[in-house]
Amino acid sequence: MTHKPPPISLTHLDASGEARMVDVSDKPATTRQASASARVRMRSEVLDLLVSGKLPKGDALAVARVAGIQAAKRTSEWVPLCHPLSLEWVGIDIRRAAPDELHILCTARTVGRTGVEMEALVGASAAALAVYDMCKAADKAITIGPIQLEEKSGGRSGDYRRT
């Protein structure tokens, strides 16, 4: 006997297929945390300038951290159906992952009725875009991606960790 997985239901669509904001008013407030990553690839000599703080525009990594935190706090303005959340904490970790690659990790935390996956994804994306903006004069071929959820905890759907 084979088991079929349950049908996928998209929470942001109503019964007629119209977009809607999910009603979370009956859900309990719990601690929620999510981490998302972004990769930024550029010429290694440009990445050398970036990590040494010697870019003409200044400390690009500090700008990227602030951009990621600020964007995570304003996710509902970026993504129309996201709930505006009061974030308890947002952290941006940026490190060199390879001679030509930067790894950005954004972690968001709150106590609330809905998760912070989108906040982590938006924070990682904005930090990557800020790096691009600060480095584009030195390298027009910078690439960003993938941007992906790494892990989440809390909430009805349980924990998730990318393998």
- What residues are annotated to the active site? 133
Please name the residue that has the structure tokens 């297929």.
Answer: 17
Tokens (6 digits) for 155: 């909430």
> CB neighbours (10 Å) of residue 100?
17
The CA distance from 84 to 78, in Å, is 11
Instruction: Give the C-alpha separation, 61 to 29, whole Å.
Output: 34
Residue 29 DSSP label: P
- DSSP secondary structure code for residue 19 in this structure: B
Q: Which residues contact 59 (CB under 8 A, 6 or more apart)?
A: 53
CA angle 67, 70, 71 (to 5 degrees): 80
